[in-house]
Amino acid sequence: MHWSRGVILNSLVFWATLATAQDHPNQTSHAPPTQTLDRQFQSAVAAYDAGRFTEAAAQLETLLPYAPKTFEVHELLGLVYAGESQDAKAVEQLELAVRLKPDSAAGRTNLAASLFHSGKSEPAEAQFRKALQLEPRNYDANHNLGELYIQSTRIAEAVPLLEKAQEIRPSYDNGYDLALAYFQTGKFSQARQLVQNLEQIKNTGELHNLLAQIDEKSGEFVPAVNEYEAAAHMDPSEGNLFDWGSELLLHRTYEPAIDVFQEAVKRYPNSPRLFIGLGMARYSRGTYDEAVKALLTAADLNPADPRCYLFLSKAYDSSPNQAQDVIQRFRRFSELQPGNALALYYYAMSLWKGKRAEDPGSDLREVESLLQKSVALDPKLAEAHVQLGNLYADHHEYAKSIPEYTKALEVNPNLPDAHYRLGQDYVHVGQKDRAQAEFEVYQKQRAQHLAEVDKERAEVQQFVYAAKAAPSTKPATNPGTNR
C-alpha cells in the first residue's frame, strides 16, 4: 500500500492561534509561541520523513493539545502510528483527520490503507472508493484499491484500477502488480509486453521470474528455463532458485535440476522444499540412496509437512538401505498426525518393508493394525485397501483379501496391480471366470503404462505448484514509510 500525506502548511501560525483561542481559551497565555509550534511541527515532519517515528510521535503528541482540530496534525500523527504498526491508534487519528477534512482524497486514502492493514477490508474499500469519487485521477487511491482487490483474489476488478494508476503515473511497483494481474487473468501477451517495458525502468529478478511464468503458461519451455535462470542469477533468493530447479524438474531435465538444487541447499540449508526438490530430482534420476538422504533432511526440517513423505516412500521403496532412519521419520509423522490416514499408511508400509528385509516371516500384526486404522480414517484410500489385500493374500486369507481388493477398485478402478492380485485370489478360490475377467482388465491397463508416468508427473507438478509461493503483489511497504 502507498501512503499519501496531505498538503502541509508552510506555517502553522493561523491554525495554531485559532485552535488556542477557540479550544483552549483559558490556556492562551500558556501556549508556546506560534513560531515554536511551527518549528515543532516541521521538526516532526522531518523526523517522519527520516523514519524516526518515535521522535515524530513525541513531538506531535506534545503539539496536539494546542491544535486539536487540525487536519495536518491528526493526519501526520496517524501516519506516524502506522509506521510504528500501532494500527488502532493510526485508524483513530486518520478518522479524526477525515472528519475534519472530508473532501481530502489523500486523507481518505491513508485511512483506507490503515484500515486494510488492520484487516478491515470492507471499510477500507469504502474509503478508497470515496477517495476516487473525490479525485478519480488519484494515483494512490487507484493503485491501493487495485492491490486490495488482488489480495482479496478479485483480480479482474483490480486490472482497470491498476491500468488507471499506470496511466496517471507510470511506475515499477504498480506496473509489476498490473503485469501480475494480467498474467493471473490469462492476458499473457499484455503481461509479457508490460514486463518487457518495466525492464527498461528497472531490470530485476522478479521480472524475469514473472516472465518465466508467462512463458511456461504459454507452453514455451526453453524461454521459461532461461528466464528462471536469469532471475536466479540476478537474485539468488530461495524462491528463485526453487522455481529454476522446479522448472527443470517438471520437464524431466534431471541432471541440471540436481545441479541447481544442490547449489540451492548449500545456500539455504534450512529450506525443506529445496531438499524435497533435490530428493525428487535424484529419485527421478534413479539415485535412490541419495534421494532418501535428501528427503530425510526435508522431513527433519519440517516434520509435520506431509509433502515430502510421498516421495520418501517412493524413494525408500527402491532403496531399503536406510530402513531404520526412514521408519523413524514415518513413525514420528504418524505420531504428529494420528488422524491422518496417509501418515499411518506410510508408517505401516515403511515398517512392513523393514520387517521383510530383516525377516520375511516377521509378525506383521502391527502393520495390519496400522493399515486397518488408515482405511477406517479414510475408506477411500485405495492404496491402503490394496496393501491390506496383499497382506492377507500373502497369508492365504483370501476371504479377507478379496474384499479389500474389491473396495480398492470401487474407489479407483484404474489399479492394474489390484486387478492382477484379485484375479490370482479368484484362481485360488476356484472362481476362474472372475479371475479371467480381472486378468483381462489388468492386461488392458498395463498396455496403457504411460498412465503411471503421467501420474508421477502429476504428483511432481502438484508438489511444485503447491510449494511455490502463491502469486501476490509485491510485499507491502511498512505502513507509514511510503506516501
The identity of residue 313, as a single letter, is S
Q: Per residue of the chain (483 residues), what is the pLDDT tens digit?
A: 665 654 444 344 434 444 444 444 444 446 567 777 888 899 999 999 999 999 999 999 998 888 888 899 999 999 999 999 999 999 999 999 999 999 999 999 999 999 998 889 899 999 999 999 999 999 999 999 999 999 889 999 999 999 999 999 999 999 999 999 999 999 999 999 999 999 998 999 999 999 999 999 998 989 999 999 999 999 999 999 999 999 999 888 899 999 999 999 999 999 999 999 999 999 989 899 999 999 999 999 999 888 889 889 888 888 777 888 999 999 999 999 999 999 999 999 999 988 766 666 567 899 999 999 999 999 999 999 999 999 999 999 999 999 999 999 999 999 999 999 999 999 999 999 999 999 999 998 887 765 565 666 666 666 666 666 544 344 334 344 443
pLDDT of residue 25: 47
Q: How many helices (H) and strands (E) does the chain have?
A: 26, 0
pLDDT of residue 420: 96
Q: Residue 338 contacts by C-beta under 8 Å, 6 or more apart in sequence?
A: 344
pLDDT of residue 348: 95
What letter would DSSP give residue 66?
G
HEC letters along 395-438: CCCHHHHHHHHHHHHHHCCCCHHHHHHHHHHHHHCCCHHHHHHH
* H or E element at residue 309: helix 307-318
Burial (Cβ within 10 Å: 0-12, 13-18, ≥19) of residue 92? middle
**Spatial contact of 446 and 415, defined as CB atoms under 8 Å apart:** no
Q: Does domain 381-470 have CATH number 3.40.140.10?
A: no
Q: Residue 87 contacts by C-beta under 8 Å, 6 or more apart in sequence?
A: 81, 114, 117, 118, 479
Q: Domain ranges for the chain, please list them.
A: 381-470
Separation between Cα atoms, residue 33 and residue 31, nearest integer Å: 6
pLDDT of residue 22: 43
Burial (Cβ within 10 Å: 0-12, 13-18, ≥19) of residue 437? middle
Separation between Cα atoms, residue 257 and residue 246, nearest integer Å: 7
pLDDT of residue 354: 80
